[in-house]
Amino acid sequence: MKTLLTTDPNEAAEFIKRGRIVAFPTETVYGLGANVFDERAVAKIFEAKKRPADNPLIAHVSRVEQIGQLATEITESAEKLIDRFFPGPLTVVLAKSDKVPAIVTAGLDTIGVRMPGYPLARGFIEACGMPLAAPSANLSGRPSPTTWQAVLDDLDGRMDCILQGEATEIGLESTVVDCTGEVPLVLRLGAVSLEELQAVVPTMSHYLSNDDEVVRSPGVRHRHYSPRARVMVIQGMGAGIRSLQLPVPTGRAAFIGLDRPTGKVEVERICGSVDEYAHQLFEFFRECDRRGIETIYCEQVDESGIGAALMDRIRRAASGQ
Ligand code: TXA
Ligand code: MG
């Protein structure tokens, strides 16, 4: 299949209306979308990404009213979160409507719903005329794409169209919150921090799975966010540490973080802030792969605000999970 590149949301929407799949930008990462009500179109997403069938997709809306087509009930906690954070980098998990085919949610009776903050994303969904099921637009296991070029690298010829936008503003995926229970639970850390969520819903907790427990967010079980290079976490410049000393690498190495390290590496990326670090991480992983880097050192940061999501992604990449 030939992949068309366009900056016109109406042209891209024509593909969706004909049951095809289209990559599009959001403020978090690029997504790979299909008509959420079209089972065959959604199946093409799983095929293109080589995504395991047991990993549910998020439904993306352009207007709050569309949530009624996807979910049977908007709980009190969900309503507060939607009021405060939609449109934006938050996904709320609700009880699923029977109108949504089972393939979208991998057979779960719940559905994740999100309204992107990036205006081009909302304009595109609006032009499609229905909500879009969309995971991140990478090959399964690879870092999420933050530019249309990264989407093309992974999926050229495997999707019908890319709606080209700017590099994504945030660079990490949305926060996923399960709102179906008594106490809302953060299933995946993301751009909206636990502190910000608790300011709206004070009982909000972070769900931590034990091995014996049923994993509530299937996606966190799969290998994720991984460059080909080995990722290693380097302790940050906290209290008492005067310099950031890198180990002597055995092969070609790279560094990303906030402080200039001592020790020699081939590629060095010093970020001006934690936000900037989050924005750059996935693209840096991809750049390192293109250059044949074997080890990537990532400086540890304080786990507040987006730092928690950043460290979550880095640890997952480091554990090869
Ligand atoms: O920022 C984002 O969320 C991006 C953009 C494109 O919107 N999307 C994204 O989708 O990261 P994906 O498929 O790569 O990750 C979705 C995560 C997975 O961990 C999945 O298991 C979880 O959300 N998820 C989706 N639906 C769920 C549900 N009904 N219950 C629990 N977890 C769910
Ligand atoms: Mg993903």
State the average pLDDT for the chain: 93
CA of 56 to the centre of ligand 1 (A): 7
Give the residue, by CA position, lying nearest to ligand 1 atom 33: 217
Residue 146 CB–ligand 1 contact under 6 Å: no
Q: Please name the helix (run of DSSP H) or strand (run of DSSP E) that holds residue 5, with its range, or none.
A: strand 4-6
Residue 176 CB–ligand 1 contact under 6 Å: yes
Structure confidence at residue 137 (pLDDT): 98
What is the pTM for the complete model shown? 0.95
Banded model confidence at residue 297, pLDDT cuts 50, 70, 90: very high
CA of 144 to the centre of ligand 2 (A): 6
Contact 143, 4 (CB under 8 A): no
Mean pLDDT of 7-34: 98
Structure confidence at residue 211 (pLDDT): 45
Residue 23 CB–ligand 1 contact under 6 Å: no
pLDDT per position as a tens digit, 65-81? 999 999 999 999 999 99
CA of 29 to the centre of ligand 2 (A): 9
Residue 168 CB–ligand 1 contact under 6 Å: no
pLDDT exceeds cutoff 50 at 213: no
Peptide bond into 143 cis (omega under 30): no
Distance CA 317, CA 186 (A): 20
Residue 135 CB–ligand 1 contact under 6 Å: yes
Distance CA 72, CA 96 (A): 6
Give the residue, by CA position, lying nearest to ligand 1 atom 20: 219
Q: What is the DSSP letter of 261?
A: E
For residue 174, the ligand 1 atom closest to its alpha carbon is: 1
CA of 144 to the centre of ligand 1 (A): 12
Contacts 24+ apart (CB under 8 A), 148-154: 148/5, 148/23, 148/25, 148/30, 150/30, 150/282, 150/283, 150/286, 151/23, 151/30, 151/32, 152/3, 152/5, 153/286
Greater pLDDT, 42 or 221: 42
Query: For the chain, how far is it from start to end, CA to CA, in angstroms?
Result: 32
pLDDT exceeds cutoff 90 at 239: no
Mean pLDDT of 25-43: 98
Amino acid occupying residue 294 = E
Residue 159 CB–ligand 1 contact under 6 Å: no
DSSP 140-157: TTSPPPSSHHHHHHHHTT
pLDDT exceeds cutoff 50 at 88: yes
Distance CA 127, CA 121 (A): 10
Structure confidence at residue 212 (pLDDT): 41
Mean pLDDT of 134-146: 96
Residue 192 CB–ligand 1 contact under 6 Å: no
Q: Which of 72, 91, 168 for a ligand 1 pocket mutation test, highest count of atoms within 8 Å of Cβ?
A: 91
Q: Which of 60, 62, 69, 22 is nearest to 44 (CA)?
A: 22
State the angle between helix axes of 148-155 and 274-291 in degrees (0 to 180), rounded to the nearest 10.
40
pLDDT per position as a tens digit, 148-166? 999 999 999 999 999 999 9
pLDDT exceeds cutoff 80 at 44: yes
Contact 304, 193 (CB under 8 A): yes
pLDDT per position as a tens digit, 155-197? 999 999 999 999 999 999 999 999 999 899 999 999 999 999 9
Greater pLDDT, 216 or 268: 268
Greater pLDDT, 264 or 9: 9
Amino acid occupying residue 132 = L
Residue 188 CB–ligand 1 contact under 6 Å: yes
Banded model confidence at residue 52, pLDDT cuts 50, 70, 90: very high
Structure confidence at residue 245 (pLDDT): 85
For residue 31, the ligand 1 atom closest to its alpha carbon is: 6
Beta-strand ranges (E) seen in 148-294 are 161-163, 175-178, 185-188, 205-206, 230-234, 244-245, 253-257, 261-262, 267-270
pLDDT per position as a tens digit, 221-237? 555 678 999 999 998 87
Mean pLDDT of 81-96: 98
Beta strands 244-245; 267-270: pairing state? unpaired
Q: Which of 38, 12, 309 is nearest to 148 (CA)?
A: 12
Distance CA 162, CA 152 (A): 8
Banded model confidence at residue 244, pLDDT cuts 50, 70, 90: confident
Contact 125, 25 (CB under 8 A): no
Banded model confidence at residue 216, pLDDT cuts 50, 70, 90: low
Q: Cα separations (Å) of 293 from 117, 225, 255, 260?
A: 34, 16, 10, 19
